[in-house]
Structure 1
Amino acid sequence: MKFLGGFGEQAYALLRIVSGLLFLAHGVQKFFNFPVPFPRPLNPMLHAAGTIELVAGALIAIGLFTRPAAFVASGMAAVGYWMMHGNKSLYPIVNGGETIALYCFIFLFIATRGAGIWSVEGTKRK
């Protein structure tokens, strides 16, 4: 990537790492009630979502099995958007789904781009 004054690869790595860690934090909240308790009991759908958030978030952040993990995370975010937000209004700013919609498209981008630098997969190539 030649944009950002030659720091495109580093900027992409930061996007992958930070978005993976933030996604992981959603799973941590669901299962460990940290840093604040999750506001409702976990039903099977929330349990599945939390598992994907924990596993895929960690894998994306470290850059291991990045493409499949990001693809699954993107799909989960799309399903989550339509199940929890999209039925309230079509517009994310109205239905509160901006964050999960953004996760969906960030992870779709990561699934197409791969791990990049600063990743476990990137160290295997050397």
Structure 2
Amino acid sequence: MTDFADSRPRPMVPALQRIYMPFNTIAETALRVIAGGLLVTHGYGKILNPFGAAGMVEGLGFYPGFFWSPLLAATEFFGGILIAIGLFTRPAAFAAMIVLLVTVYFHGVVRGEGLGGAEKSILWTAIFLFFAVRGSNSQSVDAKLGKQI
């Protein structure tokens, strides 16, 4: 298996590599922690009232709402915590990515907002796709346990 770092192009100014390399892990960790933390804050209201979004999810065609609404709340709140700390990163990020794909559909199609309305959800989907594929890095609970899914 090829190491991810080995496949990157070399910097045009090789002297700058000493500056960039130490920040690779820091930047990736920061993206994971921030994305997970923001997902937690987005799911916080839903976790306090797990059935509160039942009408909204049924409006999107997910029946029964009393099943999907708590699942949505748990995915956002607990999934965000898992992503932020880097535990079960791949499955948590995959679940978050699915939720965000639904919001792309909701904003882009159901509400008719097109790309302008769905662009944030598309960006969030891409971030969680990255972590669903890449997993966590050395600065995560997964790494400390020595295993990733």
Structure 2 length as normaliser, TM-score? 0.68
2:25 maps to 9
Are 1:98 and 2:119 matched, yes or no? yes
The match for 1:122 is 143
**Unaligned 5+ residue runs, structure 2?**
9-16, 55-64
Separation in 1 of the partners of 2:24 and 2:39? 22
Q: Can you list the C-alpha shifts for 1:65-103, whole angstroms capped at 9, x where unaligned? A: 101111111011101220x20111331x2x2x3322211
* Structure 2 counterpart of 1:42, from 19, 43, 53: 53
In the alignment, structure 1 segments of 5+ residues that lack a partner are: 34-40
Say whether 1:89 aligns with 2:135.
no
Deviating runs (4+, > 6 A) in structure 1? none
RMSD: 2.2
Number of residue-to-residue matches in the alignment: 115
The answer as to whether partners of 1:74 and 1:104 remain within 8 angstroms in 2 is yes
C-alpha separation in 2, matches of 1:47 and 1:99: 23
Which of the pair is proportionally richer in helix? Answer: 2
Paired residues of 1:26 and 1:50 also in contact (CA < 8 A): no
Which structure has the higher relative contact order (CA within 8 Å, separation 6+)?
Answer: 1
